[in-house]
């Protein structure tokens, strides 16, 4: 059975899409058949992998998902592209209860061929993110290592627990990931300590450093692992991949 990771945080700019792309790339490199599902209307996961958004979102067209899945620059890594169509974005954002159920079944049917699936969600706790949570097995939350890191997390965890109660035994806390870590700043150590004290073993040992290579890689349509294989960012995502595999 595939491990389906919902990469989610209601805040933007925390490294959510960056983590989805780079961790998926690392998993694929390790031999895992991996899929990235772009549910964010900004389509950053799509462009970050060097591909173009779809004219219609694959989850809203009357066709098997496999027909919409694209190959990327490396073997074992595929993409279900996002879509910037105002009509489709509006339909996804205003998903009704019945549509959520259909969306969940549509996703579940199309994801069975993979070892690992990463669903890149929009920065919100709306119906679309909740639908992604409902069809996932693990939720992975990137948190920027800054003053407001804990802001909104309580609400996020309440939503996750609600989904867990609706589907007992399916969704688990895959982990909390500290991103944009700069050890030169005292604030970084304070946030790191506070998050680990509060959440305990849920927090990954691996942290993602501030690294210009991580920021530059998407403009080349590549993961940092391919763009700058000797960078600190590459090493961090490889270590994160090993930690994720160890938690299986």
What is the pLDDT, as a whole number, of residue 149?
Answer: 73
Which pLDDT belongs to residue 130? Answer: 83
Contact of 226 with 74, CB cutoff 8 Å: yes
**Whole-number pLDDT of residue 98:** 57
Decide: 123 and 8 in contact? Cβ < 8 Å.
no
The tens place of each residue's pLDDT in the chain, 248 residues long, gives: 789 999 998 888 889 999 999 999 999 999 999 999 998 889 999 999 999 999 888 877 777 777 889 999 999 999 999 988 767 766 766 655 555 666 667 667 777 789 999 999 988 887 778 888 888 899 999 998 887 777 767 778 888 888 888 877 788 989 999 999 998 988 889 889 988 998 899 999 999 999 999 999 999 999 999 999 999 999 999 999 999 999 87
pLDDT attached to residue 235: 98
DSSP sequence for 20-76? HHHHHHHHHHTT--EEEEE--TT-HHHHHTT-PPBSS-GGGSSS-GGGT-EE-SSTT
Query: What pLDDT does 204 receive?
Result: 97
**Given this model, what pLDDT does residue 102 score?**
62
Q: Shortest CA distance to 45 belongs to which of 220, 221, 240, 234?
A: 221
CATH number of the domain within which 241 lies? 3.40.50.300
Q: Which residues pair with 166 in a beta bridge?
A: none
Task: Report the sign of the C-alpha dihedral through residues 219, 223, 227, 230, in that order.
Answer: positive
Q: What is the pLDDT of residue 95?
A: 56
pLDDT for res 73: 93
The predicted pLDDT at position 20 comes to 97
Give the residue numbers spanning the domain of 164.
3-246
pLDDT on residue 123: 86
Helix (H) or strand (E) holding 77: strand 77-80
Number of domains in the chain: 1
Q: What is the pLDDT of residue 11?
A: 84
């Amino acid at each position: 059975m595939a491990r389906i990771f919902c990469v989610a945080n209601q805040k933007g700019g925390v490294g959510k899409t960056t983590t989805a792309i780079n961790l998926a790339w690392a998993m694929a490199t390790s031999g895992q058949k991996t899929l990235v599902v772009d549910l964010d209307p900004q389509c950053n996961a799509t462009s970050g992998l060097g591909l173009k958004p779809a004219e219609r979102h694959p989850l809203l067209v009357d066709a098997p998902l496999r027909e919409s899945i694209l190959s990327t620059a490396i073997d074992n890594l595929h993409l279900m592209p996002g879509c910037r169509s105002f009509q489709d974005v509006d339909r996804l954002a205003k998903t009704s209860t019945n549509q959520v159920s259909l969306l969940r079944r549509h996703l579940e049917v199309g994801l069975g061929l993979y070892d690992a699936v990463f669903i890149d969600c929009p920065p919100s706790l709306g119906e679309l993110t909740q639908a992604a949570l409902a069809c996932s097995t693990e939720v992975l939350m990137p948190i920027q290592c800054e003053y407001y890191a804990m802001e909104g997390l309580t609400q996020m965890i309440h939503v996750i627990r609600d989904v867990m109660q609706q589907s007992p035994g399916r969704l688990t806390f895959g982990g909390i990931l500290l991103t944009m870590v700069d050890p030169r700043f005292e604030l970084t150590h304070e946030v790191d300590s506070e998050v680990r004290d509060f959440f305990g073993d849920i927090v990954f040992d691996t942290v993602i450093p501030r690294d210009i290579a991580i920021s530059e890689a998407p403009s080349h349509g590549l993961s940092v692992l391919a763009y700058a294989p000797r960078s600190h960012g590459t090493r961090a995502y490889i270590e994160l991949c090993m930690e994720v595999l160890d938690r299986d």
